[in-house]
Amino acid sequence: RSTLFPYTTLFRSLELIYLKNNLSEHRYIHSLAVADCARKLARVYSFDEKKAYLAGLIHDCGKGKEKDFLSGKFLYPIKIDKWTQKILPVLHSKLGAVIAKEEFHIDDKDILNAIAYHTTGRFKMSDLECIIYLADMIEPNRTYPRVEILRETATKGLYFATLLAMDFSIQYLMELSEMIHPDTIQARNTLLEKVR
Ligand code: FE
Ligand code: FE
């Protein structure tokens, strides 16, 4: 169990170097923490730990590329839905999925979707999508009201915990009168169906 971590780290040196060079120090530390947290959740929920670690590690690899995209300089062709165009904090997740595919040569659809939807969730989220969504919100460096409740809930049911995390984030967006991506509504509805 403890030997898996250094092995995965060595194996994924390409991604580590990319992240170190392209992310802020703060975002790099966050990425390592999400990877570790995702690996722990994978263990709890009998999911592939290496896959969860990798997805967590690179989930924010699109951060900082928003300017390139908005000025037409993003290296790869990509279609962005109209809501993501209006809700800019979502954009890096879509760009990240493309970077993962093109630069890290990741073909695993589940990993690519976990990256693309880590900010919004979506209709019928996979276990990996839930793990990454959750890990992103509860990794140890996160501080916001009620994060402790989420950390305690995280091991008590994957869909239930993801639903609670999503509710917190919807409530937060509503308090700020921010837009909510329709994928988030569909994610919440389908999670509710699963939990009930
Ligand atoms: Fe992100
Ligand atoms: Fe993140």
Q: Which ligand is nearest to the CA of 89?
A: 1
> Is 140 in contact with 33 (CB distance < 8 Å)?
yes
Phi-psi domain of 177 (left: phi exceeds 0; alpha: psi -120 through 50; beta: other): left
pLDDT surpasses 70 at 109 = yes
26-65 tens-digit pLDDT: 999 999 999 999 999 999 999 999 999 999 999 999 999 9
Based on its alpha-carbon atoms, the radius of gyration of the chain, rounded to whole angstroms, reads: 16
Q: What is the value of pTM for the model shown? A: 0.94
**Tally of residues, the chain:** 196
Q: Which ligand is nearest to the CA of 26?
A: 2
pLDDT surpasses 50 at 2 = no
Q: How far is the CA of 98 from the centre of ligand 1 (A)?
A: 14
pLDDT surpasses 90 at 73 = yes
Q: How far is the CA of 193 from the centre of ligand 2 (A)?
A: 26
pLDDT confidence band for 14 (50 / 70 / 90): confident
* Residue 181, amino acid: H
Q: How far is the CA of 190 from the centre of ligand 2 (A)?
A: 23
Q: How far is the CA of 136 from the centre of ligand 1 (A)?
A: 7
pLDDT attached to residue 83: 98
Q: Which of 27, 14, 9, 114 is nearest to 64 (CA)?
A: 27
Q: How far is the CA of 15 from the centre of ligand 2 (A)?
A: 15
CA-to-CA dists, residue 190 to 51, 163, 194, angstroms:
24, 9, 6
Q: How far is the CA of 166 from the centre of ligand 2 (A)?
A: 14
Q: Which of 95, 124, 135 is nearest to 112 (CA)?
A: 95
> Is 56 in contact with 135 (CB distance < 8 Å)?
yes
pLDDT (mean) for 91-108 = 96
114-163 tens-digit pLDDT: 999 999 999 999 999 999 999 999 999 999 999 999 999 999 999 999 99
Q: What is the largest CA-CA distance in the chain?
A: 46
pLDDT confidence band for 10 (50 / 70 / 90): low
pLDDT attached to residue 3: 47
Q: How far is the CA of 30 from the centre of ligand 2 (A)?
A: 7
pLDDT (mean) for 72-83 = 97
Q: How far is the CA of 192 from the centre of ligand 1 (A)?
A: 23
> Is 89 in contact with 120 (CB distance < 8 Å)?
no
Q: How far is the CA of 7 from the centre of ligand 2 (A)?
A: 23
Q: How far is the CA of 120 from the centre of ligand 2 (A)?
A: 12
pLDDT attached to residue 120: 98
Q: How far is the CA of 142 from the centre of ligand 2 (A)?
A: 10
